[in-house]
Amino acid sequence: QKEVEQNSGPLSVPEGAIASLNCTYSDRGSQSFFWYRQYSGKSPELIMFIYSNGDKEDGRFTAQLNKASQYVSLLIRDSQPSDSATYLCAVDTGRRALTFGSGTRLQVQP
């Protein structure tokens, strides 16, 4: 079992729709959770982080965490073509630096 699992996609949504990206993790001791965006040929950039169960909102982005289910999600409201990228879920298990999933490729259709 991979430590951090994501559906590779591509996830295709029309412009203006809500994109929902999901991530599961295996280590119950994981403490903090991060979503990075990576455009093709570029390096990852942090979008959001979340530590506590529940929702955290920042502009068009909402991160959701459910530690009991070992599940993290990222919602992108009013999706734009510029949101088309690979979204990486990363987990801090406290044992080492971040463990990344393989990413979900999002395509926003104009």
Partner 1 sequence: EAGVAQSPRYKIIEKRQSVAFWCNPISGHATLYWYQQILGQGPKLLIQFQNNGVVDDSQLPKDRFSAERLKGVDSTLKIQPAKLEDSAVYLCASSLDGQTEQFFGPGTRLTVL
Among 74, 88, 106, 108, binds partner 1 (CB under 8 A): 88
Q: How far is the CB of 96 from partner 1 (least distance, A)?
A: 5
Structure-block tokens of residue 100: 């990344």
Q: How far apart are CA 74 and CA 65, in angstroms?
A: 9
Structure-block tokens of residue 38: 């990576």
Q: How far apart are CA 31 and CA 63, in angstroms?
A: 15
Per CB under 8 A, does 44 bind partner 1? yes
Q: How far apart are CA 72 and CA 31, in angstroms?
A: 12
Per CB under 8 A, does 109 bind partner 1? no
Among 29, 69, 97, 110, binds partner 1 (CB under 8 A): 97
DSSP 93: -
- Cβ closest to partner 1, residue 10 vs residue 14: 10
Per CB under 8 A, does 8 bind partner 1? yes
Return the CA Rg of the chain. 13
Among 50, 99, 106, 108, binds partner 1 (CB under 8 A): 99
| Max Cα distance, the chain (Å) | 42
Among 16, 39, 46, 66, binds partner 1 (CB under 8 A): 46
Q: Which residues bind partner 1 (CB under 8 A)?
A: 4, 8, 42-46, 49, 88, 90, 96-103
